[in-house]
A and B are shown apart, each in its own frame.
Chain A
Amino acid sequence: MLTRWSELDRAFSVMDELQRRMNRLFDEVDSGRWAGSSFVGGAWPPVNLYDAGDDLVIRAMVPGLTEKELEITGNQEVLTLSGERKLEVPEGYSVHRQERGGVRFSRSFTFPCKVNLEKTKAAVKDGVLTITLPKAPEAKPRQITVKAE
C-alpha cells in the first residue's frame, strides 16, 4: 500500500514541480521570493495520507486559508485540491520582513484503494485541512469469522 501511494505521488510530483515553477513565477511578481519549504518534499500545501479503517484521511497544512478559499474536486479516482493564498501587505504598512509568501496551488491525488468521492467530507481547523474519504464497500476491512469444527 505504502509503495503504491508513493509511486503514484511521485508521478504527480512531476506535475507538482511544474505547478511549483508556475507558482514561483507568480510569486516572483507578487513578493520577490518564496523560500523553500521547511517540510519534506516542498510541494505546497504539505499533505499526509492516513488509513483510518473505513476511511482514508488527508491532512494538509493550509495556514491562513478558510473552507471558502479551498477548492476540492473529485473526478473518478482523482482528488484535486486547489486554491490561492494571497500575499497582501496590510494597507498603510511598510514591509520589514516577508517569509510567509503567497502561493497558487493545485495538487492531485489518487488512492491505494477505491474511495467514494461523493461522500467526501472536508473541514479546516487551526489552519489544518482534514479531508475524509469513505472507502468503497469492497475496500473496507472485513472481519472474517473462523469457525471451529
Chain B
Amino acid sequence: MKKYLYIYKSEIMSSLQYIFNILLNMVGYTVLVFIFFNLWDYIYEDASQLINGYTKNQMIWYIIVTEMLWQASGARKLCRKICEDVRGGNIAYNINKPYSYIGYVISSHLGEMTIKALITIIVGIIFGMIFLNELPQISLIGIIIVLISAFLSILINTILVTAIGLLSFTIEDASPIYWLYSKVILILGTMFPMEFFPKIIQTIVRFSPIYAISYGPARLFVNFDIKNAVVILITQMIYVGIALGISNILYKKGVKKLNVNGG
C-alpha cells in the first residue's frame, strides 16, 4: 500500500506543475454549468415549482455536483492512456515492476486528479452561490459524508474505466466502449436524477453503477438523509469490490494474450 501512496503523492506534486492548465479546464466546467443553469431556468416557471420532486435550485445543484464528479474523474484521459499502453506495448514495462499495473494506474490517476477535484469543488460551489444565492440545507456531518461518497464515486468510476481500457487486450481499441459508457452515465445519471425516468429505467439505474457514481452523492447533497447516506455508502463500497474484481480478471486474461515486439 505504501508504494501506491508514494505514486499518488508523486502525481499530486507533478500535477501542481500544470496548475494553469487545470484552471483553464475549469472554463469548460463553468460553461456546462452555465448552459444547464439557463436550460433549467427556462424550464421552471418559478423557483417554488416542483418537477419530479425537485425545485429549480435542487435541480441545478444536482447537476453542479454530478458534473463536478464527472470532471474530477478525468475518465476519458485515463481510458485513452490505458488503450495506448496496451496497443503500443508500453504495458510490458509495467509488468515486471514490483507493483500491480491496476494499482499503479489507479493511484497515479487519482493523484493526477486530486488538485483538479479540489479546484472543481471550489469553482462549483462559487458558481452555485453566484447563480442560486443559497446552498442546500445540509449539516457539517452531512458535508463530510457527501465528500466521502464523492471520493468513492470517483474511485468506482476510475476502476470501471480502467476495466474498459483493459478491454483493449481483446478488441484493440476500447474507446468506442468508453463513449457508450460515458454517455449512459451522462444521460441517466449526470443530466437528470433517476426520478425523471419511467419506473423501469429507475429500477435499472438503482441497481447499476450509475447510482453509485452519479445519483447517490448528488442526491445526498441536495436532500441529505442519514438512512439514504448509509445505503449509498454501502452500495458504493460493494461497487468498489465488484469493479476491482472485474479489472483484475480482465488484466489477468489480457496479459496472457500479450505479444510485444521488442525494439
Q: Do A and B come from one complex?
A: no
